[in-house]
Structure 1
């Protein structure tokens, strides 16, 4: 995590711009076709996460990682437990991703309703030792400031906190750097409350907060429903009730400004960086970034 600047030395706009310099970006394997745009708009060394939405698109993910690395970025592939058949499959894909240039990976359970193989939780993948055996030095784990409906409905909120504790303990015991990457949301207050809970429980990993890039209200409602985003999405849904607003573009200015304030004024919370989701497309995202940086 970057050493926090004094909050009194920055205007709110300066704080937002400085905070965004540490931003990472998430793409799908198919979006690697926009690599030229990424090279034009992003600084070398920027972390670009490569999601794996379709279990059958592993080859595309590996190729995207290879191209991102060659272009000077820091590729971070998603490794979803529920998309992996067995340990042989895990070993082969981590080896391939590492050979393509990834030294940081995001290890998560994954959104599939049922696992296709032997794994359904990130900790099961970590405990194989496959990551460090392939030169991976940093692991991201998933965080849910507003809960994970798939888990909390059946097992309760405490399970999420216990899982983060277990994964942090494993990372530290095995000399791996770690961070938490959250689901996207729309307001800073739930992030602050959640981070305070983590710190009280002894979880001190830096937090990278999911931020939806500029997109129409209709698009954001769709992604919020798909991803189980909770209470902070209520204002988006309320706007969607007005049919004239469905095609209006929402920008995350207030949200990012709130996160920047937490980063600089409350460093004990460990709000390290924004993680940007280009739901409305790269043109909208980079156009917006140009107005706030």
Structure 2
């Protein structure tokens, strides 16, 4: 069996091995339909690894609940996304969180969601949190969304300050209700913007650990597509520049430099709270796991 990823903390590691040690803290993201890859996940991930289950389509809630059940049964820690804009009302929220908790989720990622219009009465994560539904169902850990390079849907209208205030409000709620929280970021491509943003958070009193989104190995063409879809900011410029060269469009880009930079921040600047990488398999699971294996040798 190939060397698996692990979510366990690493106490000691040889000099020069910060990136493999950091990667052993990684979580990974799937969609409900990708639960068909469960056998591969069991082969390549350590038991207990956090597997986030994105919700891209509000029609996939039942599939997300089933994926949560299967992941927990397989020994993983499922982390379903709960986007506010995909929740109709409090009755819908109560039923959904109860089902996810019964399926084995005690950690959830609560976010606004990228839909242009909400399908119901909610549009922001704080509205879901303030219902008290999560702790009523035994949810002990809640992640909230972070945007090191901004969120174009919000900042165009309200500016970057609104994102910082939203994080402050959500952190205050989690702490007041004794819920362990963390921040999960959008994916990006460089460590420097993450460091600058994390310093801004700490100066604003936000001390939640940060799990940084990392795009797995993928072609430049694929990365450009996802960057455009997700509104990724300035650090995507070097990807777009490479895309201008047609001969590079099918070149596979690996995140070695990015993860090495994050590992350096994690181990050498711990006050920034860079806790772990969160891996997106944009280029497919095989490419992602082959890359992690090569890095961890």
Q: TM-score range by the shorter chain?
A: over 0.9
Give 2:223's aligned residue: 220
What CA distance in whole angstroms lies between the structure 1 residues aligned with 2:99 and 2:289? Answer: 31
What CA distance in whole angstroms lies between the structure 1 residues aligned with 2:87 and 2:234? Answer: 32
Give 1:199's aligned residue: 202
Q: Paired residue for 1:254, among 250, 253, 257?
A: 257
Superposition pairs for residues 79-228 of structure 1, below 5 Å?
Answer: 79-228=82-231
Gaps of 5+ in 2: 1-6
Superposition pairs for residues 46-57 of structure 1, below 5 Å?
Answer: 46-57=49-60
Q: Is residue 279 from structure 1 mapped to residue 282 from structure 2 by the alignment?
A: yes
Give 2:15's aligned residue: 11
**Counterpart of 1:44 in 2: which secondary structure?**
coil
What CA distance in whole angstroms lies between the structure 2 residues aligned with 1:28 and 1:3? Answer: 26
What CA distance in whole angstroms lies between the structure 2 residues aligned with 1:258 and 1:183? Answer: 17
Alpha-carbon displacement from aligned partner over 1:3-62 (angstroms, at most 9, x marks no partner)? 8868xx7433x1000001110000000000000000000000000000000010001000
**Counterpart of 2:168 in 1: which secondary structure?**
helix
Asked if the contact 1:187–1:232 (Cα under 8 Å) also holds between the matched residues in 2, the reply is: yes
Asked if the contact 2:87–2:122 (Cα under 8 Å) also holds between the matched residues in 1, the reply is: yes
**Counterpart of 1:125 in 2: which secondary structure?**
helix
Asked if the contact 2:51–2:78 (Cα under 8 Å) also holds between the matched residues in 1, the reply is: yes
What CA distance in whole angstroms lies between the structure 2 residues aligned with 1:252 and 1:121? Answer: 31
Asked if the contact 1:75–1:102 (Cα under 8 Å) also holds between the matched residues in 2, the reply is: yes
Asked if the contact 1:179–1:208 (Cα under 8 Å) also holds between the matched residues in 2, the reply is: yes
Give 2:3's aligned residue: none
Kindly indicate whether structure 1 or structure 2 has the higher relative contact order, using CA contacts under 8 Å at least 6 residues apart. 1
Aligned CA-pair RMSD: 1.3
Output the TM-score relative to the length of structure 1. 0.97
Asked if the contact 2:9–2:25 (Cα under 8 Å) also holds between the matched residues in 1, the reply is: no
Q: Is residue 263 from structure 1 mapped to residue 266 from structure 2 by the alignment?
A: yes
Q: Is residue 60 from structure 1 mapped to residue 63 from structure 2 by the alignment?
A: yes
Alpha-carbon displacement from aligned partner over 1:130-178 (angstroms, at most 9, x marks no partner)? 0000000000000000000000000010000000000000000001000
Question: What is the CA-CA distance between 1:291 and the residue it aligns to?
Answer: 0.5
How many pairs align? Answer: 290
What CA distance in whole angstroms lies between the structure 1 residues aligned with 2:184 and 2:141? Answer: 12
Output the TM-score relative to the length of structure 2. 0.96
